[in-house]
Amino acid sequence: MVTALVQFPLPASVSRDKAAELFKGSAPKYRDLPGLVRKYYVFNAEASTGGGIYLWKSREDAERTYTAEWKRMIRERYGAEPRITYFDTPVVVDNATGEISSDL
């Protein structure tokens, strides 16, 4: 599995409520997306930063999503280019389901 950390600066005027409104507007696009296990929208008011933490089945699944068109959509919606950092995710602890999963 792969975790992608996507971050982008937000205008200082964007509040948590406004960010949540924007995030909710894009959330349906990620339902049933091939290879996406889970997505968390994140907001940091102190740093005026928004983004997402995505758990993917593979990096290839992530890269199929993070196209030039997707980056343009982020830029238009939030006003900045996204920065994407990938992490290998060999083990996941899910306390909601009580499961520990591993791709090893």
CA–CA separation, 44 vs 63, rounded Å?
A: 25
Count other Cβ atoms within 10 Å, centred on residue 62. 20
- Taking domain 2-90, whether its CATH number is 3.30.420.10 is answered by no
pLDDT at 37: 95
Q: Tell me: pLDDT of 79 over 90.
A: no
What pLDDT does residue 77 have?
85
Q: Minimal CA–CA distance to 51: which of 88, 78, 21, 87?
A: 78
6-52 tens-digit pLDDT = 999 999 999 999 999 999 999 999 999 999 999 999 999 999 999 99
pLDDT at residue number 27: 95
Report residue 102 as tokens. Answer: 């591993």
Claim: this prediction has a pTM higher than 0.85: yes
